[in-house]
Amino acid sequence: MTHTLWPTSGYDLLSTNAQGHLQVTDDFLRFLLERPELAPIATSCSAELTLHHSLMDNPKREVTSDELAQLQDTDAAENYAVWLRFRQRIVDKPTLEASYLALFQGDGVDVPPLLVQQITHILLRHVLGETPTALQARAAEMLMRPQKITVLEDGAVMAADDDTVERHATQSSFGSLGELLTQGGIKLRSVDLDVLNADNQEAYWPRSESFDWVLSLNRGQPGLDALCEVMARWVQHFLGVEVRIQTEREIDDDQWVWHVGLDAQASGVLNDLYQGLDVAPERMERLLCLFKLEFVDPSAMRAEVRGKPVYLAMAVDGEQRLKLKPQNLLLNLPLSVQ
């Protein structure tokens, strides 16, 4: 790989099995123990220090409820309880991929979104491989971090990292692209965010963990093409099926048989349209993009929908935020029963 992507994600601490899937190591668990929610501070009690040191020595050791009860800081005790539950989720399965899928099955997700985001981050790094383009890396950010969407007067649809926007909104000296985000509902003094395109991709790599690049989501622009490529790789890595994904202007298909919303807003709109219900104009206006997914080998699909396209969509919420759910692509496709 000629560039370093997300070097502090923890990805390098995992191992890879013969099938190319990731396996949790003790070093990765130690990495998680160094998160600020768990790392000892000056006021940590002796019981907390003892617990942390023992877990650093043996990250998979059992921790009893009595040990947690001995911690003087109740927040620290709760953080350890959360971490232990998360640890159980990612070591119970043979691979991180299997653990990720299991998080969304059964009774639902029972670990904090921050930790789910961390797994998604690492898995996307793995899916991107050793030679991604900067546009693919930036598009992958959309699958793990909420985006703030702005439509400019000329019709340009721009995506900026939501946390970055909020951070810049509280600071005071950031250059000259304020219009991009003030139109999205945030009042800024000024902001300096660069728009990533095919010509300036080399500048992305030194700042890959700054999450401060803006991406154009207009049809015909390379950003959406990169997102399609990343989503197709994501499906193939997890499900072992090759798919093609491309943008669509509309769903004009009398044989529309399957769709997947890439976020909660899009799921609701697609469901209503599929059922022939009226969708209010303001909800329709929130749709950012439609996609068509096709299986390269139709035999991988359920017999009743074999050869038919799967329509995808993404949409913003009422605050112009885009919160994609990449797990929807893995759990809701019409796969044949093996």
Helix (H) or strand (E) holding 67: helix 65-69
Evaluated on CA atoms 13, 235, 286, 113, the torsion sign reads negative
90 close to 119: Cβ distance less than 8 angstroms: yes
Measured distance CA(138)–CA(161) in Å, rounded? 10
- Determine the Cα angle at 192 with ends 189 and 194, to 5°: 150
Q: What is the mean pLDDT of each run of 10 residues along the chain (338 residues)?
A: 86 97 98 95 96 98 96 96 96 97 86 93 97 97 97 91 87 51 47 85 95 94 96 98 96 91 97 94 94 96 95 96 97 88
Q: Kindly give the pairing relationship between strand 194-196 and strand 213-216.
A: parallel
Q: What angle do CA 216, 221, 226 make, to 5 degrees?
A: 85
pLDDT value, residue 107: 73
In sequence order, what DSSP letters do the residues of 141-190 get, joined into one string? HTTTS-EEEEE-TTS-EEEEEHHHHHHHHT-S---S-HHHHHTTT---S-
Q: Cα angle at 294 between 157 and 232, to 5 degrees? A: 60
pLDDT of residue 224: 97
Question: Quick one: pLDDT at residue 302?
Answer: 96
Residue 47, SS3? helix
Kindly give the pairing relationship between strand 287-295 and strand 310-315: antiparallel
Contact 214, 159 (CB under 8 A): yes
Residue 85's identity, in one-letter code, is R
Helix or strand (DSSP H, E) at 196? strand 194-196
Q: Can you read off the two tokens belonging to residue 151?
A: 């439509």
Please state, in angstroms and rounded to a whole number, the distance separating the CA atoms of residues 83 and 65: 13
Pairing mode, strands 157-161 and 213-216: antiparallel
In degrees to the nearest 10, what's the CA dihedral of 269, 274, 275, 281? 40
What one-character-per-residue DSSP string does 73-93 give? -HHHHHHHHHHHHHHHHHHSS
Quote the pLDDT of residue 176: 45
Q: Which two tokens stand for residue 226?
A: 């990169």
Mean confidence (pLDDT) of the chain: 92
Confidence (pLDDT) at 8: 95
The DSSP output letter for 333 is S
Cβ atoms within 10 Å of 74's Cβ, excluding its own: 10
> Would you state the pLDDT for residue 189?
42
Q: What is the pLDDT of residues 260-281, one digit of tens each?
A: 999 999 999 999 999 999 999 9
Tokens of 142: 């959309």
Q: What are phi and psi of 130, to 5 degrees?
A: -95, -10
- The predicted-structure confidence for 21-80, as pLDDT tens digits, reads as follows 999 999 999 999 999 999 999 999 999 999 999 999 999 999 999 999 999 999 999 999
